[in-house]
Structure 1
Amino acid sequence: MQIKSNLYSDKPKLGDSILKGATIGAGVGGATGIILGAIEANKKVKALPVESVTLNIKEPVYETKEIGKIPKNQYVPSWPWNSVNTTPTEPVYEKVPLKDKNGNVIYKEYQQTFQGHGKPLVNYETKEVKEPIFNGYSQSIWEYSDTDCYTTKEYDYYDEEYKTVTRCYEDIDGYWVRFYPKIDYKVIDTYQKPVVKFETGVSYAQHMILGGLMGAAVGGVIGGVLGAVVNKLSQLEKQKKENSMEGSPTPQEEVPTPKEGAPTPEKN
């Protein structure tokens, strides 16, 4: 009987409670540790002295210009049919690099100061100057339709009777015609653009990983302990209820009281 009781006991197992608590604690602790690690890394970066570097910047000058025209988007009804108006009337605007009279790209130059915590490191990226070239247009056509339904009676030769049926048909009202510009871009020059980064010697990733591992470890231990405590309290509460039920008096059958004037049964 004792073995059967242990097999089918509904008491929460201590190991399962500890494992569940440790798992939850490790997850919460790990997430908290990652956040705290990032905060700690940011504090170290802010503690570094602020340095600055001033650089000469060279950039091409652009101007928004009309590079071509396309037809206007239009709706064409299916009846009476009207032809699509493909006359280019809508201007197409693009940013175009300015050139001097010799065809060379015009650049503007200015100085810019960069500031940050740590040692400034300057690298240069090669940027392309692209000129837009208009190459006509493309188009797309979208049907605009409605679905109409009606109810009628039709004779069913199989069942030999009239039945009510619903018929639907699609009615095309017209077409939306939309036009899109076709633009190619030609590289006409290149230039160097500085990119400044500040070396701090502080690794955010390292701090976050370390914080996450430490948080998971501490959270797992605390969660396991709390799981064991909850398990113990649960068992004590259940045992208390069982003891209370065992000590309660057994209900006795109530003997009905004879009504006044009723005959008393004779004893044999």
Structure 2
Amino acid sequence: MPAPSSLTVSSLHAGYPGLDVLQGIDLSISAGDPPLGLLGPSGSGKTTLLATLSGEHRPSAGQVSWEGRSVAKLRGKDRRRFRAAVRFVSQYAMTISDPRETVRSRLELAAKEARKGGRTHAVSPAEMLESVGLAERFLPRTMRTLSGGETQRVALATALSTRPEILVLDEPLTAVDPNSRGRIAATLAATIRRLGIGALIASHDVELLQRLCPQIAFLGEGRILARGTLEEVLAHPEHEQIRDLAESAPSAVQRFR
């Protein structure tokens, strides 16, 4: 049996000329592992970290590797395999350039790309939507007619359509209305568990991370400042940025302390 696919971050430094936003990050996300939450204030480096994980941003030191190879150096067939096996969903991921594009055509394109990346595909578009709490009646809808929350759910369905080994999600449910968020989070968690998908979920939503992630990594000052269950991280705020989070959202945090 092949070893589980892993996305590994080793002594990572990354940023911009003259400024390292990230300063020595170590993380590992493997297929089959429980989801890992990434929590941190604005400006802590979450966006830079996710861009470096995808290979869009090159590290200044250290590396991100997949199956033992540097992600930044993947090309051609290997790059296609990586993009099918490790799916990234940004909160800004669903750019709509064709006004005629439908939900069905978006999902079918994702399935085609999955096959090109060497991943078998036997999931219907309706099943893809069901995994994120949308009905089959959404398939003929054009993307431009969807609400922000519906668009975000289609983005998740598109990522899940490749049956990925690893998901990296950036604020995955920010546009979904609060009444639906808990139900969709439960469905997403069940899908991730059923398919054995490893996941890194970056979010400011403390309650979402509590629902989805047994372990949390707190990113601040360019480093992982604390790691453990959400309760453990928030109950022992040894760093100023963790204290600031607890103080800025007392009602959300109180239940975990």
State TM-score, norm by structure 2.
Answer: 0.17
Structure with max Cα Rg: 1
State TM-score, norm by structure 1.
Answer: 0.16
Structure possessing the higher relative contact order (Cα contacts under 8 Å, 6 or more residues apart): 1
- Structure holding more helix per residue: 2
